[in-house]
Amino acid sequence: MKFDHKIYTETLGIDERICEFSDEIISGLADRFAQADRMAEMGQLKVLSAFKRAKISDSHFTGTTGYGYDDIGRDALEAVYADIFKAEDALVRPQIVSGTHAINLALSGNLRPGDELLSPAGALYDTMDQIIGIRDCPGSLKEYGISYRQVDLLQDNGFDFDGIKKALNEKTKLVTIQRSRGYSSRPSFTIDKIEELIRYIRSIKPDVTIMVDNCYGEFVEEREPIEAGADMVVGSLIKNPGGSLAPCGGYIAGTKRCVENAAYRLTSPGLGKETGASLSSMKSFFQGLFMAPVVVASALKGAVFAASCYEKLGFKTFPASTDKRTDIIQAVELKTAEALLKFCEGIQEASPVDSFVTPVADDMPGYESKVVMAAGAFVQGASIELSADGPMREPYNVYFQGGITWPHVKAGIMNTLQALKDGGILEI
């Protein structure tokens, strides 16, 4: 369906030719958009069923203070998460400040001095370097006598099964698989690929604990990683499962043992899941989770639209517009620092919050390179909302994600095209 271009030209100052170009792109995306809507419908029914089985009522929306003893809302929310992710148990708390924090809790709670952590699919996200101890930091796993080993992907981005077999040893206690690409050009891993990797690892070392960093992947495919054989999944509530309404928080879902160990690290040995006040956040957590499948579908439509636009203009994209999606991240290789900054300016200008701010590259906690981030979000740093970021290093990839509604994501991408055109970087 084509709209009057005045909506864009008068509201955002988008050139007529960019409006026409966008219409041309969208006219070829009907099948991809239908697939996103189908996933939203499946995810919505999955969430609805979990709510019904847990008998959620308005009494679960009243939070607790202090120690948080007998917090029925918190316990019910964790039961719902466990149900959705096909896990034995879950830890879902506002006290988990980010996806990185959730990963750290899961690793430090389930590894002991002398153990080894293995990544069988190459380097992890930048913020993991200090958790592991690749870059020295107080409190790293390395400081506690936990070693790390990784097996890089093959040149075709396939798993190096021979290398994985050699790397697995008697000290390997936990294997971590990062579903999303992070700040790299390798593919994000589909659930089928994750299942293939897990089966191979289990054939060699059946008793090893396997964790999947599920950030950006929730509700994108029919199955989640635990259904593919993982023991534990972790993620952030200001990404997909928070549905843009959760004000903070993270989750860990998996076996009772894994979740209990992480809970003891979050609170204290002897306390675990029994404490932790939910304050006034419970309604937002429940409602955000209920909305999440539809919000994720909007983000997926935006990612496919962005990939299609930039491919048409000659840029390399990861994944390609026709590839199967397993997360909401869309990377575009922009090749210059100027183009990366202009793209982020376009996203910021189209944001409902702080649209007047110009994003600049700066040092960020946990990152080795300077990073530019654009996110005019209702929840600070919420990457399920329209956002873009990238490290200031070659090949100057921008990582675009999120969008609460499809019309907003569309406007944001169109505005990036306008920013690049105004900057003399591309012609349309």
pLDDT confidence bin for 108, thresholds 50/70/90: very high
Q: What is the pLDDT of residues 118-145, one digit of tens each?
A: 999 999 998 899 999 999 999 999 999 9
Q: What is the pLDDT of residues 184-234, one digit of tens each?
A: 878 999 999 999 999 999 999 999 999 999 999 999 999 999 999 999 999
Residue boundaries of the structural domains of the chain: 6-42+290-422, 60-279
Check: CB of residue 6 under 8 Å from CB of residue 14: no
Q: What is the mean pLDDT of residues 34-59?
A: 98
Q: What is the mean pLDDT of residues 71-99?
A: 98
pTM confidence score: 0.95
Domain made up of 6-42+290-422: CATH architecture: Alpha-Beta Complex (3.90)
Per-residue confidence (pLDDT) for residue 421, from 0 to 100: 97
Q: Kindly indicate whether the domain formed by 60-279 is annotated with CATH number 3.40.640.10.
A: yes
Q: What is the pLDDT of residues 271-326, one digit of tens each?
A: 999 999 999 999 999 999 999 999 999 999 999 999 999 999 999 999 999 999 99
Distance, CA of 338 to CA of 319 (rounded, Å): 23
Distance, CA of 127 to CA of 9 (rounded, Å): 40
Q: What is the pLDDT of residues 6-40, one digit of tens each?
A: 889 988 899 999 999 999 999 999 999 999 999 99
Distance, CA of 294 to CA of 290 (rounded, Å): 9
What b/e readout covers 217-229, taking b as 16+ CB neighbours within 10 angstroms? bbbbbeebbbbbb
Residue 1 has pLDDT above 60, yes or no: no
Q: What is the pLDDT of residues 167-188, one digit of tens each?
A: 999 999 999 999 999 888 789 9
